[in-house]
Amino acid sequence: GMDLAAQTPYNANKPNEYGDVARTPQQGQTAKPSSDIVTASSAAENIASPKTGSGQPPIGVNNTNAPLDRVRADSNDRVLTTNQGVPVANNQDSLKAGLRGPTLMEDFILREKITHFDHERIPERIVHARGSAAHGYFESYEDLSDITRAAPFAQAGKKTPVFVRFSTVAGERGSTDTARDVRGFAVKFYTDEGNWDLVGNNIPVFFIQDAMKFPDLVHALKPEPHNAMPQAASAHDTFWDFVSLMPESTHMLMWAMSDRAIPRSYRMMQGFGVHTFRLVNAAGESVFVKFHWTPLQGTHSLVWDEAVKISGADPDFHRRDLWEAIEAGEFPEWELGLQIFTEEQADSFEFDVLDATKLVPEELVPVRPVGKLVLNRNPDNFFAETEQVAFCTAHVIPGIDFTNDPLLHGRIHSYVDTQLSRLGGPNFHEIPINAPVTQVHNNQRDGMHRQTINRGRVSYEPNSLGGGCPFQGGRMGFTSFPQQTFVEDKVRGKPELFADHYSQARLFWQSQTPVERAHIIGGFRFELTRVTVPAIRQRTLSMLANVDASLVNAVASGLGMPVPDPQPMATTRPLPTYRTSPALSLLARPGQTGIHTRRVAILVADGVDVAGVRTIYEALLADGAVPRVVSSRLGQVAGADGATLDVEITLEAGPSVIYDAMVVPAGEQSAQTLAADANALEFVRLQYRHCKPIMVVDAGVQLLAKAGIPATLRDGSADPGIIGAQPVDAAAALAAFKEALAQHRVWIRESDPPAV
């Protein structure tokens, strides 16, 4: 029990604010307070309190855990209460004048409950409404203080807590995860010098060069305003109308039509800061930087037909994947890489580093690995954390600074501004997930939903009554890099190098493998087929004609259209010629985690070789894969030898597209039963069509034959992705299957149109 009488009202600064000291104010302070003044306010803050925090938890402790405990609620063993803490006797019935009488106005319990419910939703994000997030930490490999004074890089092994949100851009909050779209990759670092948000995407370039065009881009992309269609898709007239009139979007379109826009998992995509940023060290020296996140899980994507079908089978596919991996202890990791270059180097490039439609090829400036990101904890509450988290490009810390990228400058404004309506006012930084783990001290006050109870009567600076506190940090504080600015005429325009819209689109195309090129052609063909106005298709083709002849020919023939004349160029300068950049291929990063978290379906029915299934199951599990026993019905199947096996999921509930590979085990009767089930036949066909490894044991091969799976590739050679295991070489077959699973897809099987 607390002794209420013993608690005296406490204002540690009172001696300064009232009485003799207050009557004879000292000189107002704008720097560190002089030590002879009793700065009781700073003394008060040294007292550990749950509100201000007592300092930093030990290295490696997830910092956001401890401070959030004060706002966590766990109802285990607790009585139900109103929001005022009043215990509720009956949560089933409203208060009525007689059992069949009217409900009484007096029923404050009903009214509080319904009123709160009526206001449960907040506006969704204007873009990136659909997302999933997780907690974790960033660990610096080395001390980078020669390059930047940014706190996360201050020493080797230093860990900084993070909260990371992945998202799609176009769809609404409840839309499907596997839409063709750019993915957001937003990282909030809770550093010991305040919060730093690196709000990036999984594609290193953007559609537009200037913030002025962002509302137009988003209006064109979002469902059309008259009928609110289509949901979570760029495959419609207004999007292609806009981009085909904005040739600067060509490079980004190449990426967006590639498999980058249909990732297999949030865990298997790269992230990019997109803009050129600055790093600044303690001496005030600065370099330019591009941020890269590289997944240890490798970069892997879906195929389009699969992505479409997953939207029906499991619209939460990516959310579930991230959640389950973390719950299973398969913590996803990314390496942070920096492309560092000087201003002089940048001046020598054939493109402008302030142009967000351009990347810096890795062959020009290598990516230097500097640390890793580990996501190791799912949020406790989706709304409180994932929905309320507010990422803002304006959130930078000492050591990180901006460049004059005109897209970035618009963003610096937009992200803070949008939270005002989305989160209901200027105090969104106090929402626990947004609050820095460092202490916040300033003279900002009041506003909607204010949480902090600021003590004392001083809320201005300079002041003497508060001993000059909180005082300016001077060189300790954030100092904008004193970039030299040249006085020119006020102007709305673009630098000349921005006018090269095609060279890097061509670089991207030329750096893709044949499989990736085929998929890009398929992406354009699909989207432009959905476009209903032929002139828009034609105008898009006229842009592609400036990228590559084989590309535009293939897309045009897919649309049954002639190839139009190329769109006129916006520049007459000689265009740069790039070497190809193999690093731009998805296949360049197979990853380091083998078959970990890959999902494998084992199709069974009565009569299956139960012992064989167990062996395969355990072997996959042992290497970190996720095997599932799949059948027509839940319950058990009986093996030929009388042993039984629990079915984990049905063909209906867990269709082909949610697995990376499949196994048809031995068992004559089992294979025949499955071959009579169209769900099983479709399962096999889609596994084959989506280029997934298939392992068949003995009689299992009958199911493949019945499904019409070709025994060989088109050239007559054996399909390397169909692994047959006879009992004698079962171990070798299993090894070959795991190898194919690690490679993820058997692309050599693919054809357009599909053969099966």
d(CA 702, CA 682): 14
Find all residues with CB under 8 Å of 284, minimum gap 6, and list them.
Answer: 479, 481, 482
Interacting residues with ligand HDE between 99 and 118 (CB under 6 A): none
d(CA 238, CA 222): 9
111 is in an annotated binding site: no
Least separation in angstroms between residue 406's CB and ligand HDE is: 8
Least separation in angstroms between residue 693's CB and ligand HDE is: 33
Least separation in angstroms between residue 492's CB and ligand HDE is: 15
Nearer to ligand HDE, 128 or 159 (CB): 128
Nearer to ligand HDE, 17 or 352 (CB): 352
Is-cis flag, bond preceding 462, omega within 30?
yes
Phi, psi (rounded to 5 degrees) for 504: -80, -25
Query: The tokens of 593 are what?
Result: 């985690």
Select from 189, 214, 508, 737 the one that contacts ligand HDE (CB under 6 A): 214
Q: Which of 747, 695, 250 is CA-nearest to residue 508?
A: 250
Provide the mask over 164-183, with x wherever binding to ligand HDE is found by CB under 6 A and - wherever it is not.
-x-x----------------
Nearer to ligand HDE, 186 or 600 (CB): 186
Q: Which of 90, 84, 407 is CA-nearest to residue 217?
A: 407
Least separation in angstroms between residue 611's CB and ligand HDE is: 48
Select from 67, 410, 467, 721 the one that contacts ligand HDE (CB under 6 A): 410
Contact status: 242 vs ligand HDE (CB under 6 A): no
Least separation in angstroms between residue 256's CB and ligand HDE is: 13
> Could you tell me which stretch among 99-107, 195-203, 242-250, 546-554 binds ligand HDE (CB under 6 A)?
195-203
Query: CB of 151 within 8 A of CB of 193?
Result: yes
- How does DSSP classify residue 463? B
The three-state (H, E, C) secondary structure of 694-716, written as one string: EEEEHHHHHHHHHCCCCCECCCC
Query: CB of 534 within 8 A of CB of 564?
Result: no
Find all residues with CB under 8 Å of 445, minimum gap 6, and list them.
Answer: 454, 459
537 is in an annotated binding site: no
- In this structure, which long-range contacts are made by residues 268-271, counting pairs with CB atoms below 8 Å and at least 24 apart in sequence? 268/295, 268/297, 268/298, 268/299, 268/300, 268/301, 268/591, 269/183, 269/185, 269/202, 269/295, 269/299, 270/202, 270/204, 270/294, 270/295, 270/299, 270/589, 271/185, 271/187, 271/200, 271/201, 271/202, 271/334
d(CA 688, CA 673): 20
Nearer to ligand HDE, 45 or 385 (CB): 385
Nearer to ligand HDE, 401 or 719 (CB): 401
**Strands across the sheet with 694-697, in order?**
649-650, 626-631, 599-603, 661-664, 694-697, 722-725
Select from 13, 201, 244, 276 the one that contacts ligand HDE (CB under 6 A): 201
Least separation in angstroms between residue 393's CB and ligand HDE is: 8
With both helix axes pointing from N to C terminus, report the angle between 214-221 and 406-422 in degrees, rounded to the nearest 10.
Answer: 60
Contact status: 29 vs ligand HDE (CB under 6 A): no
415 is in an annotated binding site: yes
525 is in an annotated binding site: no
Contact status: 411 vs ligand HDE (CB under 6 A): yes
Select from 266, 415, 471, 737 the one that contacts ligand HDE (CB under 6 A): 415
> Could you tell me which stretch among 15-23, 141-149, 403-411, 488-496 binds ligand HDE (CB under 6 A)?
403-411
Interacting residues with ligand HDE between 349 and 368 (CB under 6 A): 356
Select from 152, 161, 194, 200 the one that contacts ligand HDE (CB under 6 A): 200
Nearer to ligand HDE, 186 or 723 (CB): 186
Residue nearest to ligand HDE (CB): 184
Provide the mask over 266-295, with x wherever binding to ligand HDE is found by CB under 6 A and - wherever it is not.
--------x---------------------
Query: CB of 506 within 8 A of CB of 548?
Result: yes
3-class DSSP assignment, residue 138: strand
d(CA 461, CA 459): 7
Select from 196, 351, 391, 502 the one that contacts ligand HDE (CB under 6 A): 391
Find all residues with CB under 8 Å of 141, minimum gap 6, and list them.
Answer: 156, 369, 370, 371, 372
Nearer to ligand HDE, 501 or 537 (CB): 501
Contact status: 423 vs ligand HDE (CB under 6 A): no
165 is in an annotated binding site: yes
Contact status: 458 vs ligand HDE (CB under 6 A): no
Nearer to ligand HDE, 303 or 505 (CB): 505
Least separation in angstroms between residue 473's CB and ligand HDE is: 28
Query: The tokens of 734 are what?
Result: 């299993």
Q: What one-letter code names the amino acid at 702? A: Q
Query: The tokens of 291 are what?
Result: 């941020």
Catalytic positions: 128, 201
Least separation in angstroms between residue 277's CB and ligand HDE is: 11
Contact status: 211 vs ligand HDE (CB under 6 A): yes
d(CA 189, CA 160): 7
Contact status: 243 vs ligand HDE (CB under 6 A): no
Query: CB of 554 within 8 A of CB of 257?
Result: no
Q: Which of 364, 420, 366 is CA-nearest to residue 392?
A: 420
> Could you tell me which stretch among 200-208, 630-638, 694-702, 721-729 binds ligand HDE (CB under 6 A)?
200-208
β-strands 159-168, 400-401: how paired? unpaired
Contact status: 186 vs ligand HDE (CB under 6 A): yes
Least separation in angstroms between residue 184's CB and ligand HDE is: 3
Query: The tokens of 390 are what?
Result: 């507010």
Provide the mask over 125-164, with x wherever binding to ligand HDE is found by CB under 6 A and - wherever it is not.
xxxx--x---------------------------------
272 is in an annotated binding site: no
Least separation in angstroms between residue 197's CB and ligand HDE is: 8
- In this structure, which long-range contacts are made by residues 144-147, counting pairs with CB atoms below 8 Å and at least 24 apart in sequence? 144/370, 145/281, 145/282, 146/281, 147/279, 147/281, 147/287, 147/340
**Residues making contact with ligand HDE (CB under 6 A):** 125-128, 131, 165, 167, 184, 186, 199-201, 206, 211, 214, 274, 356, 390-391, 407, 410-411, 414-415, 418
Going by the annotation, the residues of the binding site are 125, 165, 214, 411, 415, 422
Going by the annotation, the residues of the binding site for heme are 125, 165, 214, 411, 415, 422
